Amino acid sequence: MNIRAAKSAEATESSVYIYSEIKELESLNLSKSELAYVEDSAKDEARNISRINRFPAFLYLVKVSSKKLAKEQFQEKLRMEGVKCFKMLASQKTKVVSVSSLSANENAYYLAEGLALGAYQFLKYFSDKEKRHHGLEEIILHGISDERVTELQATTNGVYAARNLVNEPLSYLTAVQLAEEASKLGKEKGFKVEVMNKKKIETLKMGGLLAVNRGSIDPPTFSILEYTPENATNEKPLVLVGKGVVYDTGGLSLKPTAGSMDSMKSDMGGAAAVIGAMSAIAEAKLPVKVIGLIPATDNRPGEIAYVPGDVITMYDGSTVEVLNTDAEGRMILADALAYAKKLNPALVIDLATLTGAAAVAIGKFGVVAMGTAGQEAMNRLDNSGKEVYERIAQFPFWDEYNDLLKSTIADVKNIGGREGGAITAGKFLERFTDYPWIHLDIAGPAFLGSDDSYRLQGGTGVGVRMLFDFVKSMA
């Protein structure tokens, strides 16, 4: 999707105008019958988008009101109106659309964002992909600065990249291919990617990543993504860590097939979010040094798979009693978080589809957060979550939860039982950190069974826009 700014009005196939009061439509020179039609439609909130045929072009007039809505709720409402507009545009196979606001210019940004995100399609495996394509190729924004349009293009591309990765099946997206996709994006967008192969991972003694990989026929990878702009405002890097389990059967603690394992190609949603965010940050040339770490493997019950009862020596030398091989994400993240110590980070944020407990707790409506970073960092991330409507719910992180992870034969066990499952997973990870750190469990919103406005069925790319806004705030 190409998104660009326009200095002045251009003739396009279709034009979307946002308004809040009928009098704002005077500049459009509507006829009496057109104005009457719009006024009648505007009385019903469900019919707040009026389409006027100005053959060969169409006008789409979108009435919105911010009354009784918080800022972030109004912005989200505009995004949702953008999806409605997209569906109408797609029915006409529109190729180019312009978006303007007759009230606050910034309104056009959020509507265009929803339009762009709602226009995503994953058609790679259809034999008639050309026929299925909706046709929309370009969005032209009026009244928005070039900088903001560049950001919208970058974040849209980043979300698309993350969604593509999550939607790819294991038959294509192995751990090796995930690293290759990150490398391709790095070359295209301007960040470096170093990929460690299995031999290097063995040399580093990343026991958690190697243990999870033992049942697989495909080797693991550990990718380091580095974006270092010349004008970086930070000396110590922000480090982003993404769980890269490209498929999770549960290992020998096998998942049920129906409704559980069948969507587990999405278990690398955290890795996809980090890769997508790095892409967006580099494309927009944000002046902040950021490093991404992606431990990647699939989790299968192969001939030499690790088993419940095994004791694994991790990268940092500590030992873990494995009581459930389906708690594999924390095993590979632990090695990556321990590795992050050598990077001397200002802050580390990890993203992972880590626990069903997080999804049960707050559903698809937000992201579970916890960690050891100061409240200022958490508040800043919370603000970014509100700005892009990927809201975070901060869970308690009391020391007492550590008691649930005590092992009788090793330093720690990898599960803590049913109580506080999302939190004990976080407390497990905490053991491998010695720096300010935030853990984001994105299990609820990372992969959807059906469309939720512009968050479409399949991979949503959750985390990309929030991380981008957070890094932008650091600049």
Q: Express each pLDDT in 389-409 by its tens digit.
A: 999 999 999 999 999 999 999
Question: Which listed residue (255, 341, 364, 380) is catalytic?
Answer: 255
Question: Which listed residue (330, 391, 413, 472) is catalytic?
Answer: 330
- The two tokens of residue 233 are 């405002």
218 annotated as ligand-binding = no
181 annotated as ligand-binding = no
If you average pLDDT over residues 450-473, what whole number do you get?
98
Residues contacting residue 108 through CB under 8 Å, at least 6 positions apart: 18, 99, 100, 101, 141, 142, 143, 144
The pLDDT of residue 8 is above 80: no
Pairing of strands 49-54, 412-413: unpaired
How high is the pLDDT of residue 9?
66
- Structural domains of the chain in order of their starting residue, each with its CATH number: 2-144 (3.40.220.10), 155-474 (3.40.630.10)
Q: Express each pLDDT in 74-107 by its tens digit.
A: 999 999 999 999 999 999 999 999 999 999 999 9
Query: In the annotation, is 330 catalytic?
Result: yes
- The two tokens of residue 406 are 């005590």
Q: Express each pLDDT in 147-206 by its tens digit.
A: 999 999 999 999 999 999 999 999 999 999 999 999 999 999 999 999 999 999 999 999
267 annotated as ligand-binding = yes
How high is the pLDDT of residue 46?
75
Q: Are 466 and 377 in contact (CB under 8 A)?
A: no
Pairing of strands 367-371, 437-441: antiparallel
- The two tokens of residue 324 are 């459930």
The pLDDT of residue 11 is above 90: no
If you average pLDDT over residues 435-443, what whole number do you get?
98
Q: What is the pTM of this model?
A: 0.97
Share of the chain above pLDDT 70, in %: 100
Q: Inter-axis angle of helices 329-339 and 421-430, to 10 degrees?
A: 30
How high is the pLDDT of residue 45?
75
Of 227, 240, 234, 303, nearest to 273 (Cα)? 240
328 annotated as ligand-binding = yes
Query: In the annotation, is 255 catalytic?
Result: yes
Q: What is the SS3 assignment for the chain?
A: CEEEEECCCCCCCEEEEEECCHHHHHHHCCCHHHHHHHHHHHCCHHHCEEEEEECCEEEEEEECCCCCCCHHHHHHHHHHHHHHHHHHHHHCCCCEEEEEECCCCHHHHHHHHHHHHHCCCCCCCCCCHHHHCCCCCEEEEECCCHHHHHHHHHHHHHHHHHHHHHHCCCCCCCHHHHHHHHHHHHHHHCCEEEEECHHHHHHHCCHHHHHHHCCCCCCCEEEEEEECCCCCCCCCCEEEEECEEEEECCCCCCCCCCCCHHHHHHHHHHHHHHHHHHHHHHHCCCCCCEEEEEEEEEECCCCCCCCCCCEEECCCCCEEECCCCCCCHHHHHHHHHHHHHHHCCCEEEEEECCCHHHHHHHHHHCEEEEECCCHHHHHHHHHHHHHHCCCEEECCCCHHHHHHHCCCCCCEECCCCCCCHHHHHHHHHHCCCCCCEEEEECCCCCEECCCECCECCEECCCCHHHHHHHHHHHC
Q: Are 276 and 464 in contact (CB under 8 A)?
A: yes
The pLDDT of residue 54 is above 90: no
**pLDDT band at residue 12 under the 50/70/90 scheme:** confident
How high is the pLDDT of residue 257?
76
The pLDDT of residue 211 is above 90: yes
The pLDDT of residue 29 is above 80: yes
452 annotated as ligand-binding = no
Question: How far is it, in rounded angstroms, from Cα 206 to Cα 332?
Answer: 8
Question: How far is it, in rounded angstroms, from Cα 254 to Cα 128?
Answer: 36
Q: Are 302 and 250 in contact (CB under 8 A)?
A: no
How high is the pLDDT of residue 4?
97
